[in-house]
Chains A and B, each alone.
Chain A
Amino acid sequence: MTAVADLMDYAEVVERFDPVLGLEVHVELSTDTKMFCGCPNLFGGEPNTHVCPTCLGLPGALPVVNGKAVESAIRIGLALNCEIAEWCRFARKNYFYPDMPKNFQTSQYDEPIAFNGHLDVVLDDGEVVRVDIERAHMEEDTGKSLHVGGATGRIHGAEHSLLDYNRAGVPLIEIVTKPIVGMGARAPEVARAYVTALRDLLRAMDVSDVRMDQGSLRCDANVSLMPKGGSEFGTRTETKNVNSLRSVERAVRYEMTRQAAILAEGGTITQETRHFQEADGSTSPGRTKETAEDYRYFPEPDLVPIAPSRAWVEQLRATIPELPWERRKRIQAEWNLTDEELRDLVNTGAADLVAATVDAGAEPGEARSWWVQYLTQQANAREVELADLPIAPAQVARVIALVNSGELTNKLAREVVQGVLAGEGEPDEVVEKRGLKVVSDDSALLAAVDEALAAQPDVADKIRGGKVQAAGAIVGAVMKATKGQADAKRVRELILERVGA
């Protein structure tokens, strides 16, 4: 590790400097197959099992463009208010790295499929900021390397390297903003809000899993500073490995304070790639680029140009679903929420999840209560974003339905949710596997009731004497005996029946 960097106090940073941001977001599309071959596009799997001659870059193998990926790229472009190219090509980006099978990445260079767009981003206090989009282009993902041994976990000094090409050739869309200027102290927040808005948008469009923890949404943050009131951009750094929304904000803030300290001392910023350290929120230098990397881009001769007809583009425009912010406006009206209530819902990341749960059949109040209370606690405990909890709105809706039909108690329902979060499958499977069904068989319950009454004859007498509230003790005993799997209301009814009260 390098020595701890000097940092400037944040208030002083924003007093003396104007930050300039540029955000590059890579999104893995959730198409069935990879970008240029028929291999399954699945996260994980035994290493090197989702591979073929094309995605392994074997001699002689050729790419064929995945039409569904082009469709997703156009839809994303449209949702970001971009122009869609009438004619564009793929290009080869040449550089050597062991996890890139061909040692060039098939990408797009000066002819992206979508360009000149914008995304309106809502900040925590409700202020709306427009982020201009430079371009969105198609490319393929690389494989994954694991460098074993050595101090840094990087290729230099490693004892050996393991390579998994399952991810090689997975379709990616890279979305690049224009420089974001004039945000002052709010720059880190804007960065987070932008990535959040983008994630919500892509999720609503059902084009990607957008899981930052699994790498299906990745953000590189370019940060530079210029003296307050200046207009000439300073030297930038590019911070990679930013794996959560919170980290986006932290990384930008850290770079601002680090760069400001250097500039204030009269130093210069090194143009470099930096890695975000999740543990302490710092960034550390990657490989310094002695010279600007020359990728020797040229048009990909193995693929033909893509010329989406205007009719097709308009057809795709019609498939863009209700966008998250439009949906929020609608739910505010439908659920009669104040601005503040809506904002809280949005800020916890719950609004879209609640809406989706309602869409899946749940009642709005119940859906809200699950996401805002229990599930928010779970997300906090796990230190993940609410949306990154491994439970889907439809699964929450199913749990709510099971409670409403009397098949689960609230307590059991929480256990079912735990099971889903632990990866045990769909709610019904968890109920099955964990044996969580409410004991609704009266004969089983009666046996337990009789036992409890016999064990506490004094309480039974009190109930008989009209002290109905004393039944609580018996209910408790029955619930304990049935390990909580009984419906307390029904137990109470049976007790009263039994003592003849």
Chain B
Amino acid sequence: MTDLTRLTAAELAAKIHAREVTSVEVTQAHLDRIAEVDDAVHAFLHVDAEGALEAARSVDGDLAEGRQPASPIAGVPLALKDVLTTKGVPTTCGSKTLENWLPPYDSTVTRRLRKAGVVILGKTNMDEFAMGSSTENSAFGPTRNPWDRDRIPGGSGGGSSASLAAFEAPLAIGTDTGGSIRQPASVTGTVGVKPTYGGVSRYGLVAFSSSLDQAGPCARTVTDAALLHEAIAGHDPLDSTSVNVPVPPVVEAARQGATGDLKGVRVGVVTEFAGEGYQPGVQRSFEAAVAQLRELGAEVVEVSCPHFTYALPAYYLIAPSECSSNLARFDAMRYGLRVADDGDHSAEEVMSLTREAGFGAEVKRRIMLGTYALSSGYYDAYYGSAQKVRTLITRDFTAAFEQVDVLVSPTTPTTAFRIGERVDDPLAMYLADLCTIPSNLAGNAAMSVPSGLSEDDGLPVGLQIMAPALADDRLYRVGAAYEVARGPLLDRVPELKGVSA
């Protein structure tokens, strides 16, 4: 019998909808796989077997009664990043602060997934409140990279990407504030898309940095990502920053791209993202990918985006500033962790002691950075200047997209680094998001698609494709074309069966 966990979401959906297999069988196969390998990977913080099987039964029931599937991926299982609220199911954001919190409501993404008949297997591990590039900042222990379990799976959404590479789920949801979907995709050999800001509702996405956060699809193929993208995208009246325009035709674009023809597509190589700090194997993988795009018919030119160099420092002022305010609500008054509530401490002391106990070092570092950057007398120099840089980066993109349809770069300068290697060096850690951050600052769409394995260490490398705001479909066309030309990759992930933690 076929190993159901090895199929793509599109293949699984076809079989389920044709009633060759049931969603319950598919779900159970993934639950079994999780039970078998997740001790070694630790992609999940919470597995909701009961909820998943119930959702699967409901899809099977509908199909049995002759109803049309609720969506093209109805019945397919999915791993949900633990930063999106799920009614009655733990949502920890990788933090002790929310260890025992049961949200009373579903995020809009969660609600749309349920409505589409997608089966939510559980919640995936992440850096605390999505702050990090390795999942080492999770309060519940790191996730391991299925390609090499001594290495990081990227972050903050390392759990989601690792679950795909470990065949624990065919689909996953991530969130991307500075690269938290794309960088994990890059280092695990999977596909990750940060949609245009406002393309997917943020309602119920526990905020790290409101003006940068964006939820998006993670999958093992570009087409699967497109199918998931369509299920979660679209205007939401509950999110004021959600855009009220039709969802770009991403599935259609992926189909078109899969024909392998990129004639007439203009591709710009960002000249700033190369050179010192870029691993030679990553650089060569990227150059090979660009050559392949040219072979597919694309017209490739070099494009300079001079202000991208300032994106990282600008980001590390804007994101911490917003996070210092967004995370102020974790004060032990209404939900979450509460310590020192012993009758000897005032409400204010309980607030302060709980925050001390509940937040990890990186979260505290960013709250302090942001508090400082917003302080009176420093605001203009820090937050104000960073916003100006943001405008300049947006202008760089605008100018670039006048010349080309998409921009490309390596997703991240290196392959997966070793667990522990950068934990004591925050700046080295921050560099992992060097190439991904500009798209968050400007709000445009971007994808990471695997460009094979690095010749120097045999680990996955990601190709980043960037498109103008609201032109997410271009990512899928180029990504799908490249994916076909590149050929299979994930069949080379080491077998995890029998491996213990």
Hey, which bits of chain A sit against chain B, CB under 8 A?
53, 56-65, 92, 94, 96, 98, 101-104, 155-159, 161, 163, 292, 294, 296-298, 301-304
Inter-chain contact A103/B328, CB cutoff 8 Å: yes
- Determine if B206 is an interface residue (Cβ-Cβ < 8 Å): yes
Report the nearest B residue to A93, measured CB to CB.
Answer: B325
CA distance in complex: A56, B333 (Å): 10
- Determine if B500 is an interface residue (Cβ-Cβ < 8 Å): no
CA distance in complex: A102, B333 (Å): 10
Output the residue of B84, B239, B240, B321 with the most chain A CB within 10 A: B240
CA distance in complex: A104, B348 (Å): 15
Q: Which residues of A contact B84 (CB under 8 A)?
A: 60
Q: Which residues of A contact B203 (CB under 8 A)?
A: 60-62
Inter-chain contact A94/B328, CB cutoff 8 Å: yes
Inter-chain contact A62/B240, CB cutoff 8 Å: yes
Inter-chain contact A59/B98, CB cutoff 8 Å: yes
- Determine if B75 is an interface residue (Cβ-Cβ < 8 Å): no
Inter-chain contact B328/A98, CB cutoff 8 Å: no
Q: Which residues of A contact B211 (CB under 8 A)?
A: 301
Which chain B residues (85-108) contact chain A, with CB distance < 8 Å? 85, 91, 93, 98, 101, 103-105, 107
Q: Which residues of B contact A302 (CB under 8 A)?
A: 207, 210, 240-241
Given known contacts A294-B376, A296-B325, A59 and B343 CB-to-CB distance under 8 angstroms: no
- Determine if B204 is an interface residue (Cβ-Cβ < 8 Å): yes
How many residues of B sit at the interface, in one of the four size bands? 35 or more
Which chain B residues (270-327) contact chain A, with CB distance < 8 Å? 321-322, 324-325
Interface string of B223-237 (1 = CB under 8 A from A): 000000000000001
Given known contacts A156-B346, A158-B346, A59 and B93 CB-to-CB distance under 8 angstroms: yes
Given known contacts A94-B325, A155-B348, A61 and B204 CB-to-CB distance under 8 angstroms: yes
Q: Which residues of A contact B237 (CB under 8 A)?
A: 64
CA distance in complex: A104, B331 (Å): 12
- Determine if B383 is an interface residue (Cβ-Cβ < 8 Å): yes
A409 to chain B, nearest CB (A): 56
Q: Which residues of A contact B91 (CB under 8 A)?
A: 59-60
Given known contacts A62-B202, A64-B238, A155-B346, A56 and B328 CB-to-CB distance under 8 angstroms: no
B118 to chain A, nearest CB (A): 19
For the complex with contacts A63-B240, A298-B383, 17 further pairs of A-B residues with Cβ separation under 8 Å are A57-B329, A59-B207, A60-B84, A62-B239, A155-B346, A155-B347, A155-B348, A156-B346, A158-B346, A161-B347, A298-B374, A301-B211, A301-B322, A302-B207, A302-B210, A302-B241, A303-B240
Inter-chain contact B346/A102, CB cutoff 8 Å: no
- Determine if B218 is an interface residue (Cβ-Cβ < 8 Å): no
B97 to chain A, nearest CB (A): 9
- Determine if B492 is an interface residue (Cβ-Cβ < 8 Å): no
Instruction: Select one of A53, A63, A303 contacting B105, CB under 8 A.
Output: A53
A156 to chain B, nearest CB (A): 6
Inter-chain contact B351/A53, CB cutoff 8 Å: no
Q: Which residues of A contact B238 (CB under 8 A)?
A: 62, 64
Report the nearest B residue to A37, measured CB to CB.
Answer: B238
Inter-chain contact A294/B375, CB cutoff 8 Å: yes
